[in-house]
Amino acid sequence: MDYVWFFFSPKGRVNRQAFLLGGLFFAVIQAYPLYRLTLVPQTSPEGEFWAGAFGLVFVVTIWSNVVLGIKRLHDIDKPGIAAVSLFVPIVSIIAFVVLCILPGSPGPNTYGQRTNDKS
C-alpha cells in the first residue's frame, strides 16, 4: 500500500478495516504529545516544545482523518463532503462507528475500481 496516498490523498477507496486501523493509529499519534505535555509545566521550554508538537501533530492528523473519511465514504459510494460530520463533536463518534460498520459497495463504483486502491 502507498502510505502517502493512504494518509494524504482524498482519491480512491478504503475498506472498514483500513479505516478503523488508520483512525486508531491517529488517536495514538495525537495522544502521545498530549500525554507528554501533561507531565511537564506548561511554561517550561519542554512544555512549549510538547505544546508545539501537539499542535503540529493535530493539524496533520486532522487532515489525514478527513482524507480517510472521504475515502471510506467513497467505498460506500457516497460523496466525500459528508466527511464534514467528522468535525461535529458528538456526531463524529457516531459517524466513525457507522463508517467502521457499513460494508463497502462490492466491485467498481463511482469512486474507484476496487477498495484500498488509488483509482
State how far the alpha carbon of 112 is from the alpha carbons of 5, 66, 90, in Å: 14, 18, 30
Report the share of the chain in percent with pLDDT over 90.
60
Interval 101-114: pLDDT, tens: 999 988 888 888 88
Give the tens place of pLDDT for each residue, 77-86.
Answer: 998 888 888 8
> Taking the model in full, what pTM does it have?
0.85
CB atoms within 10 A of CB 104: 19
State the pLDDT confidence band at 87, using cuts at 50, 70 and 90. confident
Does residue 90 surpass a pLDDT of 80? yes
Average pLDDT over residues 95-99: 91
Cα dihedral across residues 37, 92, 101, 17: positive or negative: negative
| pLDDT score, position 68 | 93
Domain ranges of the chain: 3-101
Q: What is the DSSP string of the chain?
A: --HHHHHH---SB--HHHHHHHHHHHHHHHHHHHHHHHTS-TTSHHHHHHHHHHHHHHHHHHHHHHHHHHHHHHHTT--GGGGGGGGSHHHHHHHHHHHHHSPPPSS-BTTBSSTTB--
Q: Is the pLDDT of residue 119 over 80?
A: no
pLDDT > 70 fraction of the chain, expressed in percent and rounded: 98
Give pLDDT tens digits for 11-45.
999 999 999 999 999 999 999 999 999 999 878 99
